[in-house]
Amino acid sequence: MRQNESLLDKARELAEARNHKLLPFVRQGRSSGTRCVTCARQVYVMPDPGLNGAAIGGDAIAEVCIRKPSGSVRPANRSVPAAKPKLLFV
C-alpha cells in the first residue's frame, strides 16, 4: 500500500507543478483518479500498470492548467459611461 501512496503523492506533485488544483483521489477498482477543479483535466494512478502501461497518467500531468491568475482580472472602469444601443428600423 505504501507504493500506491507514493504514486498518489507523485501524481499530485506533477499536476500541481502545472498549476492544477486537484480534488481528492477516488479509488475505482485497481486505479485511483482525480480531476482539476478549474479545467477538469484528469490524473490517474495504476499501481500495477502491466508491461507497457504507465503508473501515472492523464492530461493534468502533461498540460498546463488554463486557469488565469486572479491578478489578470481588473474591475470595470465606472467613469466611462456605457454606450447606448442603437435601434435600427427597417
Is the pTM higher than 0.85?
A: no
Cell of 69: 491568475
Look at residue 49 in the predicted model and tell me its pLDDT.
83
Q: What is the pLDDT of residues 64-77, one digit of tens each?
A: 998 655 544 445 55
Q: Where are the alpha helices (DSSP H) in the chain?
A: 2-16, 59-62
**E strand segments, the chain:** 26-28, 31-35, 42-45, 56-57
Residue length of the chain: 90
Look at residue 89 in the predicted model and tell me its pLDDT.
65
Q: What is the pLDDT of residues 25-79, one digit of tens each?
A: 999 888 899 999 999 899 999 988 888 788 899 999 999 998 655 544 445 555 5
Largest CA distance in the chain: 74
Look at residue 30 in the predicted model and tell me its pLDDT.
86
Instruction: Judge contact between 68 and 22, C-beta under 8 A.
Output: no
